[in-house]
Structure 1
Amino acid sequence: MGILEGKNILVAGVTMNTSIGYRVVELAQAEGATVVVSNFGRAMSLTQRVLRRLDPEPPLIELDVTDAEHLATLPDRLREHVDHLDGVVHSIAFANPETALGGKFLSTPFDDVGFSVHVSAYSLVSLAMACKPLFAPSASVVGMTFDATVSWPIYDWMGVSKAALESASRYLARYLGPDGVRCNLVAAGPLETIAKKAIPGSEEFNAIWGTRAPLGWDPKDLTPTAKAVVALLSDWFPATTGEMVHVDGGLHSTGA
């Protein structure tokens, strides 16, 4: 029996089979979970195509986390597939690569900053609150970050947005804890996802990890990160909340 046997999980933010979310779906289903996937807009067709590779093929619903109507109707649309939720995976982030990334930090207009924070950080809260009516006792919310306790070259306003995400996760842990709901983040090293490829100069991260990660780092291997997400969704961390689990080959623990 898998560690997610009998659990219902929403994975928000799956586009390609190279998405962290996609690997989470694969592992969650292998561990016994019933999974619902979300994306929105033109990316829906890409998501539907890659989901056909899975058995069973999980249902796909449209969810733009900046759309109030999408969030308001989310519980009813989820009830078409599951009667409750045991977990939610937030694998969503965006910053305009033309203005907010790649060394343009000092000139980014606030509209782009605000949108990045909305999509990448505030949406963790809005998604959790939209799902709250369906949460089972001991439900688990898991988000994805790239450790924002320090600054990184070229990461710029996405780094700021991830810092906001990390703080928002701690506050969610505080306010949802009395209801038995846990909220944690997984801080992964650089992985070859669509999101990373959209960052100008992101290959610099591979060089950093290649020389400094004590355990080494394979940027094409999504499995260690997805395993951490699945573990946090399970009952094996019943008293862990407000935490950020590093899956980065140990780089966060090193100095120069």
Structure 2
Amino acid sequence: MGLLDGKTILVAGVTMDSSIGFAVAKVAQEQGATVLISNFGRALSITKRIAKRLPVEPPVLDLDVTNQEHLDGLADQIREHLGAEAKLDGVVHSIAYGNPETLLGGKFLTGPWEDVAQAVQVSAYSLKSLAIAVQPLMTQGAGIVGLTFDATVAWPAYDWMGVAKAALESTNRYLARDLGPQGIRVNLVSAGPLKTLAAKAIPGFEEIDEAWGTRAPLGWDNTDQIPTAKTVCALLSDFFPATTGEIVHVDGGYHAMGA
């Protein structure tokens, strides 16, 4: 019996098979879930190819979380694949973007507002947008899980993406407050640095990555997305029925260590 037997999960933001979203979709299927994944634009064709590498090829939805028409039509897209009575038991927000040329790698003092606004919309506001879009399909006890990178401190090179993640973490708390009365749980997983497509776009990512292996008491494998994926799936399961507004660290214990 799997942890997610009988549940239907949407994983929004799957591009490559090295992404956390892909690992979540894989673990969720292995734990018995019916999974849908999404992407948009030029990356959508890549996602459709990558989907074939999952244990069960899932439906791939066209979803730009900054496009209101896409959000308004999301429930209908899901019904087209799963039937008129389709319900969602979980949603994973694996979406973030900040222009690396203007916002990352030591450009905090020069980052233009237009790019900062885009980073906050895509990386933080979209958690709320996605939650509202799927709300009509969510079951009692359903879970929404997003992905963050510890925004309680300032990291080298991360700059305005750190600010966007701080906004995401605050959005998580307010969503937990407002969706809790409907029985919907909202949590985040704060993963250590992983060698994903997004990480490769961060100039100076190595500065963050280098310290992890020596300071994380459990050690840290920056090529292994499965520990993070398992935690996301656990939060989507029935084993955290009274947990919401939380940030669970999956970083080998790095966050708890001093200098």
What's the TM-score once normalised by structure 2's chain length? 0.98
Q: Shift of residue 191 of structure 1? A: 0.2
2:172 matched to 1:169?
A: yes
- Decide which of 105, 115, 119 is 2:118's aligned counterpart: 115
Aligned pairs (5 A) from 1:147-186: 147-186=150-189
2:203 matched to 1:203?
A: no
- Decide which of 242, 246, 254 is 2:245's aligned counterpart: 242
Aligned pairs (5 A) from 1:216-227: 216-227=219-230
Query: Which residue number in structure 2 is paired with residue 3 of structure 1?
Result: 3
CA shift digits 1:7-47 (9 cap, x unpaired): 00000000000000000000000100000000000101111
Query: Which residue number in structure 1 is paired with residue 34 of structure 2?
Result: 34
Structure 2: runs of 5+ lacking an equivalent? none
**Contact 2:95–2:122 under 8 Å retained in 1:** yes
* Distance in 2 between residues matched to 1:75 and 1:47, nearest whole Å: 20
* Distance in 1 between residues matched to 2:186 and 2:45, nearest whole Å: 30
Segments of 4+ moved more than 4 angstroms: none
Query: Which residue number in structure 2 is paired with residue 133 of structure 1?
Result: 136
SS where residue 240 of structure 2 aligns?
coil
Query: Which residue number in structure 2 is paired with residue 19 of structure 1?
Result: 19
CA shift digits 1:153-204 (9 cap, x unpaired): 1100000000000000000000000000000000000000000000001011
Residue type at the aligned position of 1:63: L
Query: Which residue number in structure 1 is paired with residue 236 of structure 2?
Result: 233
Query: Which residue number in structure 2 is paired with residue 57 of structure 1?
Result: 57
Residue type at the aligned position of 1:154: A
* Distance in 1 between residues matched to 2:70 and 2:250, nearest whole Å: 32
* Distance in 1 between residues matched to 2:146 and 2:55, nearest whole Å: 25
Query: Which residue number in structure 1 is paired with residue 68 of structure 2?
Result: 68
SS where residue 165 of structure 1 aligns?
helix
SS where residue 199 of structure 1 aligns?
coil
SS where residue 4 of structure 1 aligns?
coil
* Distance in 2 between residues matched to 1:180 and 1:156, nearest whole Å: 35
SS where residue 14 of structure 1 aligns?
coil
* Distance in 1 between residues matched to 2:48 and 2:163, nearest whole Å: 32
Q: Shift of residue 53 of structure 1? A: 1.4
* Distance in 2 between residues matched to 1:212 and 1:4, nearest whole Å: 33
* Distance in 1 between residues matched to 2:197 and 2:12, nearest whole Å: 15
